[in-house]
Structure 1
């Protein structure tokens, strides 16, 4: 069987060989592909890590599109925490700048670029589609100033993070360390929002579970391809918090239905109470006493 497979792997075309060698290196390509030798634990783990990393990079480019569509199609940001996305944008932007400027392998952070942009879009949409506190109406045009200010702030911040003359390497390393508490803090408002609403609202369950799986995969790729403890701690703790949010989403899976049924029951109670009140006969008063004028019609003045 192995010799039959080797007869194929020994004659792979160049356009297949080159990308594979670029991905896993000449040594592991020779071991795993050319010789079909799966006994090398090092090369096997490395190849799996590279494949996972590439998959995350590709999948990350569209991961939060369902969340964006949820908000736009429903014209509502109910159940989505603005605080969470504000902190998440900060953490993602800093981590992206740190990885690029540290020249880490692209497969260990590539999805950060697209996820940073997607988070920025979601942040602006949450601002636009948040209902007015007084009227309860959703009017994106009423938030145009806030949207413009937020977009400008994110653009300036990203430029500063990418410029060593503005934010030197030591400062960026400190900021990267800060992303761990920032990233964890970004999850807390969403946990609180889910607990308060007792419902998922417009929060995409697909995105929640994808984030959980992504952080688990990133723990593996970081352990395999780099020795950066900051990134490893960040992904590890983020995985724990993402697991809590995923558990909440499962617990409140039918929250919208339960809320609708509760409102229906409350409405029926109000209707029944109103009906009962209407059926009570008005009290009969055979006499009415007036101290400021003639007796009321239908009554007689007491002697």
Structure 2
């Protein structure tokens, strides 16, 4: 009886603080466990909270994940070291993630960062074309991509197509990183490739493994992020390996020879 009165008092005290934001991070059962029963060691609830916090942090971070890359390219007025084919393949993977999350009604916290990363990746793709004197191609690239994205998210696109796209994410991610890795190897440096952007993408993919397991339980999604972590790690290693040489080349020769592969 005393415990029941205690919980009722606790409930009346905490209810004013229980709103949509709190409900987003915690289901009703976890709200009761944490704030009414003060059971902060509930394993399932802790994992739910951690997943939501990580997912939200990834989405917030994704708003500027490629901003360092964009700023670096604009400041240098050069897209040296960046591969446009790699951007195209990366967009295929990102777009598949967006469509898969929408079609399967997954929580926004499970896929939302892909939306922001997509916008920034399209921007990088346009800048590569712009700084290689192909502005018209850059504009066409942006318009065609937006048209395809609209079609993909519309009811006209069958779910089977979206699932196939998500399944293709793994080879797309692998091919994208291979193209960028080969470009780095041929150049002998990483050019205008932003270390901060690459490190954030690596950390985000690593965290996404946990949030995908927790929030979706979708094996295809989890395996995709495992592959993404492995591929991003390759570029991270290259950035560290070529660090000194990259700095010497960018500092010594402002307009280094264009050896990047373009289409």
| TM-score between both structures, scaled by the size of structure 1 | 0.76
Aligned counterparts of 2:142 and 2:195: Cα–Cα separation in 1: 26
Q: Determine which of 177, 198, 207 is the counterpart of 1:208.
A: 198
Q: Which residue in the other structure is 1:153 paired with?
A: 144
Q: Tell me the C-alpha RMSD between the 2 structures.
A: 2.2
Do 1:60 and 1:114's aligned partners in 2 also have CA atoms closer than 8 Å? Answer: yes
- Relative contact order higher in (CA < 8 Å, ≥ 6 apart): 2
Aligned counterparts of 2:107 and 2:100: Cα–Cα separation in 1: 12
Q: CA deviation at 1:13?
A: 6.6
Do 2:55 and 2:208's aligned partners in 1 also have CA atoms closer than 8 Å? Answer: yes
**Does residue 181 of the first structure (1) align with residue 171 of the second (2)?**
yes
Aligned counterparts of 1:42 and 1:262: Cα–Cα separation in 2: 55
Structure 2 runs not aligned, ≥5 long? 1-6, 254-263
Cα deviation 1:3-45 (Å, max 9, x = unaligned): xxx9999734735654112322111122123333122111111
Cα deviation 1:239-272 (Å, max 9, x = unaligned): 0011111111111111134447998xxxxxxxxx
Aligned counterparts of 2:61 and 2:79: Cα–Cα separation in 1: 24
Q: Which residue in the other structure is 2:95 paired with?
A: 93
**Does residue 20 of the first structure (1) align with residue 3 of the second (2)?**
no
Do 1:94 and 1:161's aligned partners in 2 also have CA atoms closer than 8 Å? Answer: no
Aligned counterparts of 2:107 and 2:246: Cα–Cα separation in 1: 43
Equivalences for 1:212-291 in 2 at 5 Å? 212-259=202-249
Change (3 A) 1:180 1:81: same
Do 2:97 and 2:166's aligned partners in 1 also have CA atoms closer than 8 Å? Answer: yes
Q: Determine which of 137, 144, 148 is the counterpart of 2:135.
A: 144
Larger radius of gyration: 1
Change (3 A) 1:91 1:14: same
Task: Count how many residue pairs are aligned between Structure 1 and Structure 2.
Answer: 246
Do 1:32 and 1:44's aligned partners in 2 also have CA atoms closer than 8 Å? Answer: no
Cα deviation 1:61-99 (Å, max 9, x = unaligned): 111111111111110001111111111112111210111
